[in-house]
Amino acid sequence: MQQSLDTSKDAMRSFPPKGQPLITGFNRIGLWSLYIKEIRRFLKVQTQTVWAPAITTLLFLVIFTVALSGGGGRSGREILGVNFATFVAPGLIMMGMMQNAFANASFSLLGGKIQGTIIDYLMPPLSAAELTIAIVGAAMTRAVLVGLAVTLAMSLWPGVDLQAAHPWAIVWFGLMGSAFLAIVGLLTSLWAEKFDHNAAVTNFVIAPLSLLSGTFYVISNLSPAFQLVSRANPFFYLISGFRFGFLGQSDIGNTNQAVLGAAVGVGLLNLALGFVTYRVLKSGWRIKS
């Protein structure tokens, strides 16, 4: 009997005091589990989350190239030394990636708020940094899958010639654009209290910035005032840098040195915005009451 009591006391002494965390340091297992959970969430409906955006983006390409070609399907118009379809394809790929990164990240916590399952994110032993990394990482994964699907769809359209002139720019700007919109999406999900708020950001912020970013034109065709407006749009640098990776030419420069400044700039922008989002998430604003 005495031996059993001693064993129980030893077992109790092996646990830390109340309020002291059992998991210290970086919770890699928890982060990976949340990341996989977010991946499975959108893969369950991959027809809607991956393939449908690819078809929608392809329709943009089809409509614009057919309209400019007078119905023949091949446009004789050239921009930056390539036909219009080849010029616009990288921008459409990037636009599809960014919009879906935002859609994925903006639903995570907002869905939990509305459905009453937000505790599933707050109760596990995950820090604000680990939550941020997992949600943003999953959104970036969806963006990459959408980008690959859009690229595959566009490669089937006549007149599109996608060649990697500078692979580093494709990878860097693709990941930075996906991360930027994923972080913005996570920040939106913290602020929003209903789906209408999320839709408002999508319709009045994300969509206009995407369409007015130089996806379908070069900004040299615009008036000086509108060129300044375009250069104040972060989407412009992301899409132009991504296009430079395919064509070797863009609105921000035609050499690695000219584009490097934009590459560093978007990286610093993501770090700053990510830190702000981390601090907001850590404060519990609009998710803890």
- Alpha-carbon dihedral angle through residues 158, 159, 160, 164, given to the nearest 10 degrees: 130
Which residue in 125, 129, 131 sits closest to 108, CA to CA?
A: 131
Render pLDDT for 197-239 as a digit per residue (tens, 0 to 9). Answer: 999 999 999 999 998 898 988 998 888 998 999 999 999 999 9
Which residue in 50, 51, 99, 77 sits closest to 216, CA to CA?
A: 77
Render pLDDT for 106-150 as a digit per residue (tens, 0 to 9). Answer: 998 999 899 888 988 988 889 999 999 999 999 999 999 999 999
Contact 158, 112 (CB under 8 A): no
Q: Which residue did the predictor score with more confidence, 37 or 289?
A: 37
Residue 12 has pLDDT above 80, yes or no: no
Identity at 67, one-letter amino acid code: A
d(Cα 237, Cα 235) in Å, to the nearest integer? 6
Q: Identify the residue whose tokens are 């999900």.
A: 189
| pLDDT score at 19 | 57
